[in-house]
Structure 1
């Protein structure tokens, strides 16, 4: 009976450790991944913007500014058309010549 308080304390500590492993540790891990994802996404957007600026500057020195604007605008237009075509998934065609 002398070790009863120690056993109760150990049981409570074990219970608290299990609860923490099921809640706080999982949430901390999720927050860590979300934070890393936000940082990576931010760096990717900044890199894309700097790449577009660099591409325009290279084109601007190679050709007239109007042609550089036309090339960059044409690239964005082609990208926009491709994304516009992908916005709605294609449905399988039904055979209309049954009859």
Structure 2
């Protein structure tokens, strides 16, 4: 009879461990990956912003501040035209 209680307790522990490994452990791993991805994205975005500010200030030294704004405006204008030309127009066959 004592052996039956031990086997039943082991069975319950095995079932609980299996259920936890199928639910909680997977969810915890997913949350850990999502958190690491979010932190990496924020750090990359911050690095890009600092890089743009640094390039702007370096360009502003030989040019004036207005020249730096004009250079960056022209750069963004060229990028916008490039993206505009690469778009896929919708077909209007009515």
- Indicate whether the TM-score tops 0.5: yes
Q: Tell me the CA shift for residue 86 of structure 1.
A: 4.0
Distance verdict in 2 for CA 1:22–1:42, change over 3 Å: same
Q: What CA RMSD, in Å, does the superposition of the two structures yield over aligned residues?
A: 1.9
Distance verdict in 2 for CA 1:37–1:5, change over 3 Å: same
| Secondary structure of the structure 1 residue equivalent to 2:2 | coil
Tell me the distance in 2 between the aligned counterparts of 1:69 and 1:33: 39
Tell me the distance in 2 between the aligned counterparts of 1:63 and 1:31: 48
Deviation track 1:23-53 (CA, whole Å, cap 9, x = no partner) reads 0000000000100011011011111111111
Tell me the distance in 2 between the aligned counterparts of 1:85 and 1:42: 30
Tell me the distance in 2 between the aligned counterparts of 1:54 and 1:33: 31
Unmatched runs of 5 consecutive residues or more in structure 1? 92-99
Unmatched runs of 5 consecutive residues or more in structure 2? none
How many pairs align?
91
Tell me the distance in 2 between the aligned counterparts of 1:15 and 1:86: 56
Match of 1:34 in 2: 34
Deviation track 1:56-84 (CA, whole Å, cap 9, x = no partner) reads 10011121222111111111222223333
Match of 1:77 in 2: 77
Match of 1:65 in 2: 65
